[in-house]
Amino acid sequence: MFEQILENVRRKCPRIHNITNYVTANDCANMLLACGGSPVMADEWEEAVEITAICDGLNINTGTLSQRTIPTMFATGKRANQLGHPVVLDPVGVGASTLRTDTVFRLLKEVRFTAIRGNISEIKTLACGSGATKGVDADAADRVTEENLERALTFIRDFAQRSGAVIAATGAIDIVTDGEQAFIIRNGRPEMSAITGTGCQLSALTAAFVTANPDCPLKAAAAAVCAMGLCGEIAYQRMTELDGNSSYRNYMIDAMYRLKPAELEKGARYEVQ
């Protein structure tokens, strides 16, 4: 199922416009190149809407908001909607400040999103209006475990139905749902949390996958989550006692670059409910 999705990304080379944060922009661009996509980073008002028009999909990331970039997010999101392009939202740190929270909820009202990818605290804030955040990181109080999995699945499914978007809530256990069908994914390594921006990279990756597979956004988003987690596993196998989180980050990008569709099909660990 996921083999064809990755093959489509590699064959179509979707051009993804990223309005992302300056902390992880380079890593997002490299992850997009590694998966077979083509990244464009443009957040200046005078060109962003024009850039959106020549791209295939849009990725909006609220990690480092500014009064300059916020209007650009709304303008490009609406333009992408007009053009029928997929739009992905990464609501980084929503709930951590009034500016972030207000901006994200306004985006949800004014822009139609194909997929929303966030950690469990961010998704809980969007779904329930409250969540525990530690800056831009998920809080342990919100963590999805085997014990609370069904409860988490229920509120994420409900939010997907209300938002009309595929929701990807990622963490130790990932949940990807369109409100009807849900993928419970167990790929990944805990060491991935030691790298700044793995979530941002995944959101960019998700944008490429759903753009290259417009007829199956749920499966495409789930494939992106599995691919990212699998690359984290493959990269960890390369680690030596001299390697740290910087090497691990590079190994993950290398793993995505070398990932074969059949390898993703075999290595994806998920169940469907």
- Predicted confidence (pLDDT) per residue in 146-162, tens digit: 888 999 999 999 999 99
- Whether the Cβ atoms of residue 62 and residue 72 lie closer than 8 Å to each other: no
Q: Where are the domains of the chain?
A: 2-272
pTM score of the predicted model: 0.94
- pLDDT for the residue numbered 140: 47
Average of per-residue pLDDT across 6-20: 98
Cα distance between residue 42 and residue 32, in whole Å: 15
| Cα Dmax for the chain | 51
Domain 2-272 in this protein, CATH class: alpha beta
From residue 82, alpha-carbon distances to 39, 52, 123, 155, 218 in Å are 21, 11, 26, 30, 21
Task: Name beta bridge partners: 60.
Answer: 19, 89
**Beta strands 182-185; 15-19: pairing state:** unpaired
